[in-house]
Amino acid sequence: MLIYKILRPAEWDALQRDGQTDGAPVDLADGYIHFSTADQVTGTLAKHFAGEGALHLLACDPATMQQDLKWEEARGGVLFPHLYRPLRMADVIWNRPIPHVDGHHDAGSLE
């Protein structure tokens, strides 16, 4: 199973440039990096990224982050993966742009 991080282009550029990131503004405010499972990505896009322009989807293996990853309740008591350390480029298995389809983001098939 993979977990997913959604980044804006400037955030993705910074991760590539610096080799790691503390995340987006919401991650900095909450003190951890928010991830979603494949089943949660569509809801995350709709709730937190509606009206945004270009976005990038990053896929990561939770096993490589296991000691710093916690599954915690959010949105209606559902467990979400939260990373309590910087996200490193080495954590990213693949990335791709998230296209707009009919006025919303479509992450496509994820697993």
- Torsion-angle region of 50 (φ positive above 0: left; ψ -120 to 50: alpha; else: beta): beta
Quick one: pLDDT at residue 52? 82
Task: For the chain, list residues with pLDDT below 70.
Answer: 101-111
Quick one: pLDDT at residue 102? 63
Predicted confidence (pLDDT) per residue in 5-23, tens digit? 999 999 999 999 999 999 9
Q: What is the pTM of this model?
A: 0.91
Quick one: pLDDT at residue 110? 62
Q: Which domains can be identified in the chain, with CATH numbers?
A: 3-105 (3.20.170.20)
Nearest to 15 by CA among 69, 57, 50, 63: 57
Q: Residue 32, SS3?
A: coil
Quick one: pLDDT at residue 104? 65
Class of residue 89 by CB neighbours under 10 A (exposed 0-12, middle 13-18, buried 19+): middle
